[in-house]
Amino acid sequence: MGKMNIRLKGALNRFKRLLFVTVGLIFLGLGIVGYVLPGMPGTIWLIMAAALFVRSSDRLYNFVVKNRLFGRQVGDFLETGAMPLKAKIISVVSVWTFSLISIVLTPYTWLFKGPVLILAIVGTIYITSRPTRRNSKGNLDMDNSNYNTLSSKEQLVIENKGTEPPFSGEYDDFFETGTYVCRRCDAELYRSIDKFNAHCGWPAFDKEVPEAVTRLPDPDGHRTELACANCGGHLGHVFFGERFTETNTRHCVNSLSMTFVKSEQG
């Protein structure tokens, strides 16, 4: 049953990538036509095509999300769907600026203007419906600069989805009473009562704080990635069916992704 699920997930991932490429090619064609025929919104179509191509290829995706200018913001949005309030405002203004320019300048009928207007409305609905990221204090997060400063090793794991060496983490063989929070944004992730010794080389938990952790398909097509629901930082992976605890679930988490906060009660 497990192998069947793995194959099914792999097939679904391949189908999604094929779909992204196919729709991306359609948008690319519309973008080229948009530059050949005056007034057509070629720029919008090309931007959408580029976004789909990036999501369909691991190499392109890693290149985009690892650049220093805007990689973290793009990666956070693609993985969690959450956006800082400032990013939402800029995105909506940009969509309507491009759309209105195309509608006003196009010499054609509403047969051409209509799809542009519909695209702008759909884009606005999509952007505004995304969760608005909040910082660790529960306030609206206007920008990613509110996150904690990370060391190079922490960036490798949390932002670039790396993995610390087994048995090297400070919380691997660690069982004090308290709470584990995200090292990047301080959001609560796990409680010590749900931690157990899996002898796997990394901290193991059988349950997360409710709604604190997001599960995502791993690019390898087999595993399931764990990410902080608040900031999108990489935590590790989740495994099932190992029968370590009653939940039959093991969250395998990097120590570098977390900070331990000792309980005031002892």
Q: Which residues are marked as active site?
A: 252
Dist. CA 61–CA 50, nearest whole Å: 11
Strand partners, 238: 224, 251
C-beta separation of 261 from 179 below 8 A: yes
**Which tokens go with 24?**
């991306």
Which helix (H) or strand (E) is 42 found in, with range?
Answer: helix 42-56
Nearest 5 degrees, angle CA 18-CA 19-CA 23?
A: 120
- Sheet containing strand 213-217, strands side by side: 195-196, 204-205, 249-253, 234-240, 224-228, 213-217
- Which residue reads 């491009």 in tokens? 98
Dist. CA 239–CA 243, nearest whole Å: 10
C-beta separation of 244 from 230 below 8 A: no
C-beta separation of 188 from 212 below 8 A: yes
Dist. CA 129–CA 166, nearest whole Å: 40
Strand partners, 239: 250
| Closest C-alpha to 178, from 195, 161, 166 | 195
